[in-house]
Amino acid sequence: MSERRILRIEISTPQAAMEAFAQTWERLERGEAVTPVESIGFESLSEMLSTLTPRRWELIQTVKRRGPTPIGELAEPPEQDKTLGCTDVGTLVDLGILEVDDRQRVFVPWDEIDLRVPLAA
Protein backbone atom coordinates (compact mmCIF):
# COMPACT_ATOMS: atom_id res chain seq x y z
CA MET A 1 0.00 0.00 0.00
CA SER A 2 1.36 3.42 -0.89
CA GLU A 3 1.94 6.09 1.70
CA ARG A 4 -0.69 8.79 2.11
CA ARG A 5 0.28 12.07 0.47
CA ILE A 6 -0.37 15.09 2.65
CA LEU A 7 0.09 18.68 1.48
CA ARG A 8 0.73 21.23 4.20
CA ILE A 9 -0.49 24.75 3.47
CA GLU A 10 0.71 27.24 6.03
CA ILE A 11 1.26 30.85 6.93
CA SER A 12 4.99 31.42 7.11
CA THR A 13 7.37 34.27 6.45
CA PRO A 14 10.07 33.76 3.84
CA GLN A 15 12.63 34.00 6.65
CA ALA A 16 10.96 31.20 8.63
CA ALA A 17 10.80 29.03 5.50
CA MET A 18 14.51 29.59 4.84
CA GLU A 19 15.37 28.77 8.46
CA ALA A 20 13.39 25.52 8.25
CA PHE A 21 15.18 24.66 5.00
CA ALA A 22 18.58 25.36 6.60
CA GLN A 23 17.75 23.17 9.61
CA THR A 24 16.69 20.33 7.32
CA TRP A 25 19.85 20.71 5.25
CA GLU A 26 22.00 20.57 8.40
CA ARG A 27 20.21 17.41 9.58
CA LEU A 28 20.83 15.78 6.20
CA GLU A 29 24.51 16.73 6.31
CA ARG A 30 24.79 15.07 9.74
CA GLY A 31 23.27 11.93 8.25
CA GLU A 32 20.02 12.17 10.20
CA ALA A 33 16.80 10.84 8.75
CA VAL A 34 14.48 13.53 7.49
CA THR A 35 10.83 13.02 6.65
CA PRO A 36 9.97 14.93 3.48
CA VAL A 37 7.27 17.57 3.89
CA GLU A 38 5.42 18.86 0.87
CA SER A 39 4.18 22.33 1.62
CA ILE A 40 3.02 25.67 0.30
CA GLY A 41 3.62 28.81 2.32
CA PHE A 42 1.77 32.10 2.30
CA GLU A 43 3.05 35.22 4.04
CA SER A 44 -0.34 36.11 5.51
CA LEU A 45 -3.80 34.73 6.07
CA SER A 46 -5.24 37.34 3.71
CA GLU A 47 -2.88 36.20 0.93
CA MET A 48 -3.87 32.58 1.49
CA LEU A 49 -7.60 33.37 1.51
CA SER A 50 -7.39 35.54 -1.61
CA THR A 51 -5.58 32.74 -3.44
CA LEU A 52 -7.48 29.74 -2.10
CA THR A 53 -10.95 31.15 -2.56
CA PRO A 54 -14.14 29.21 -1.76
CA ARG A 55 -14.59 28.66 -5.51
CA ARG A 56 -11.12 27.10 -5.76
CA TRP A 57 -11.72 24.86 -2.71
CA GLU A 58 -14.92 23.70 -4.38
CA LEU A 59 -12.94 22.96 -7.54
CA ILE A 60 -10.37 20.93 -5.55
CA GLN A 61 -13.16 18.90 -3.94
CA THR A 62 -14.92 18.35 -7.28
CA VAL A 63 -11.75 17.10 -8.96
CA LYS A 64 -10.90 14.85 -6.00
CA ARG A 65 -14.40 13.36 -6.05
CA ARG A 66 -14.46 12.86 -9.86
CA GLY A 67 -10.88 11.75 -10.34
CA PRO A 68 -8.86 12.78 -13.39
CA THR A 69 -11.05 15.20 -15.33
CA PRO A 70 -10.62 17.15 -18.59
CA ILE A 71 -10.41 20.86 -17.83
CA GLY A 72 -13.35 21.67 -20.11
CA GLU A 73 -15.66 19.52 -17.99
CA LEU A 74 -14.97 21.55 -14.85
CA ALA A 75 -16.88 24.66 -15.92
CA GLU A 76 -20.34 23.86 -14.59
CA PRO A 77 -23.07 24.80 -15.02
CA PRO A 78 -22.65 25.13 -18.82
CA GLU A 79 -23.25 28.90 -18.73
CA GLN A 80 -20.31 29.39 -16.34
CA ASP A 81 -17.36 31.29 -17.82
CA LYS A 82 -14.87 28.62 -18.91
CA THR A 83 -12.06 31.22 -18.87
CA LEU A 84 -12.52 31.69 -15.13
CA GLY A 85 -12.52 27.93 -14.60
CA CYS A 86 -9.30 27.58 -16.59
CA THR A 87 -7.72 30.42 -14.62
CA ASP A 88 -8.64 28.71 -11.35
CA VAL A 89 -7.27 25.39 -12.59
CA GLY A 90 -4.07 27.09 -13.77
CA THR A 91 -3.54 28.75 -10.40
CA LEU A 92 -4.06 25.47 -8.55
CA VAL A 93 -1.72 23.63 -10.93
CA ASP A 94 0.93 26.35 -10.49
CA LEU A 95 0.67 25.92 -6.72
CA GLY A 96 0.94 22.14 -7.00
CA ILE A 97 -2.48 21.47 -5.50
CA LEU A 98 -3.72 20.04 -8.80
CA GLU A 99 -1.61 18.17 -11.34
CA VAL A 100 -2.12 17.38 -15.02
CA ASP A 101 -1.68 13.85 -16.36
CA ASP A 102 -0.38 12.80 -19.78
CA ARG A 103 -3.94 12.91 -21.20
CA GLN A 104 -4.32 16.57 -20.12
CA ARG A 105 -6.72 15.74 -17.31
CA VAL A 106 -6.39 17.45 -13.94
CA PHE A 107 -6.35 15.50 -10.69
CA VAL A 108 -5.66 15.98 -6.98
CA PRO A 109 -2.54 14.00 -6.01
CA TRP A 110 -3.16 14.53 -2.28
CA ASP A 111 -5.02 12.36 0.18
CA GLU A 112 -5.26 15.24 2.61
CA ILE A 113 -4.55 18.98 2.78
CA ASP A 114 -3.40 20.18 6.18
CA LEU A 115 -3.98 23.92 6.76
CA ARG A 116 -1.84 25.55 9.42
CA VAL A 117 -2.52 29.07 10.65
CA PRO A 118 -0.47 30.22 13.63
CA LEU A 119 -2.34 32.27 16.21
CA ALA A 120 0.77 34.08 17.44
CA ALA A 121 3.76 35.46 15.57
The 10 Å CB-count burial string (b at 16+, else e) for 52-73 is: beeebeebbeebbeeeebebee
Which CATH number characterizes residue 12's domain? Answer: 1.10.10
121 in any annotated domain: no
58 in any annotated domain: yes
55 in any annotated domain: yes
Q: Is the pLDDT of residue 85 over 70?
A: no
31 in any annotated domain: yes
Residue range(s) defining the domain that contains residue 86:
6-116
Q: Is the pLDDT of residue 79 over 50?
A: no
State residue 18's pLDDT score. Answer: 81
1 in any annotated domain: no
14 in any annotated domain: yes
DSSP 110: -
Q: Is the pLDDT of residue 69 over 90?
A: yes
* Number of structural domains found in the chain: 1
pTM beyond 0.75: yes
Mean pLDDT rounded to a whole number for the chain: 86
Q: Taking a C-beta distance cutoff of 8 angstroms, is the pair 66, 75 a contact?
A: no
